[in-house]
Amino acid sequence: MANARPIIGIPTWSDRSALYHNAPIHALGQPYVHAIQRAGGIPLLIPVGPDEESLQTLATRVDGVLLAGGGDVDPTLYGQDPHPALRDVDRARDDLELSLARLALHRGLPILGICRGIQVLNVATGGTLYQDLPSERPGPFSHGCFQPQFPPDHLAHEVASEPGSLLARIMGQATFGVNSRHHQGIHRLGKGWNAVAHAPDGLVEAVENPDHPFALGVQWHPENLLGLPEHGLCLFAALVAACGAR
């Protein structure tokens, strides 16, 4: 029976709270949670540090997975030495998200990766990243339109989607503007992915796996674009629909 309100697992990460004497806390930006709720899903926040057996059990209880944005993936996980501009590496988060991504890909569990999430999907399948776009791949415009100079829904550049792709069907348009808050990007594609959207400078902005029911990664931040008619909830609604159809 189709599940009317699918449960979407979202990994959290470790942070510190000044409110609680700098005690460690689990963190996750609320826009991700609210987007899943508004799309009709039930978000389930996943703590860092589960053992592999617990994670495998968890993967049988959720209907889909969302990978949120955040710091850089440890480059040793794709065979590179750290770049001087590397920031906010969190190996416990890497381990959790890479394991969960591989489980979701292996089991046909719907998964959407956002910003860092597309990079996790790529590394999980043997791909590599540009560790720092400004120094490794300088281009005609910046992908690093971060707050507070830029509002979260600032449309930094256009992307062009591949005709006939799942992404193009979800978006309902061939080209559209996106926000851009990343200093890393997809370099060599991991196994199983098609690059289905590119920025004007040629950088990969979305990937999908055509052999999987719903495995999609986007380099932009759709959770901050819900108020724009050309974006709205469409990516989150597509994830929730794919989870409910299982």
Residues lying near Mn ion in the complex (CB under 5 A): 143, 180
* Residue 144: CB minimum distance to Mn ion, A: 8
From the list 221, 231, 234, 243, the catalytic residue is 221
Q: Is the bond leading into 84 cis (omega within 30 degrees of zero)?
A: no
Q: Which is nearer to Mn ion, 99 or 119 (CB)?
A: 119
Residue 208: name the closest of 227, 189, 226, 221 by CA.
189
Q: Which is nearer to Mn ion, 128 or 180 (CB)?
A: 180
* Residue 151: CB minimum distance to Mn ion, A: 16
Known catalytic residue at 97: no
Q: Which is nearer to Mn ion, 99 or 180 (CB)?
A: 180
Known catalytic residue at 221: yes
From the list 145, 212, 223, 243, the catalytic residue is 223
* Residue 155: CB minimum distance to Mn ion, A: 11
> Cα separation of 163 and 173, whole Å?
9
- CA triple 16-96-193, angle to 5 deg: 125
Q: Is 34 helix (H, G, I), strand (E, B) or coil?
A: helix
Known catalytic residue at 183: no
* Residue 146: CB minimum distance to Mn ion, A: 12
Cα–Cα distances in angstroms (integers) from residue 220 to residues 55, 59, 192, in the given order: 27, 26, 21
> Cα separation of 132 and 85, whole Å?
6
Q: Is 142 helix (H, G, I), strand (E, B) or coil?
A: coil
Residue number with the shortest CB distance to Mn ion?
A: 180
Q: Which is nearer to Mn ion, 181 or 212 (CB)?
A: 181
Catalytic (active-site) positions: 115, 221, 223
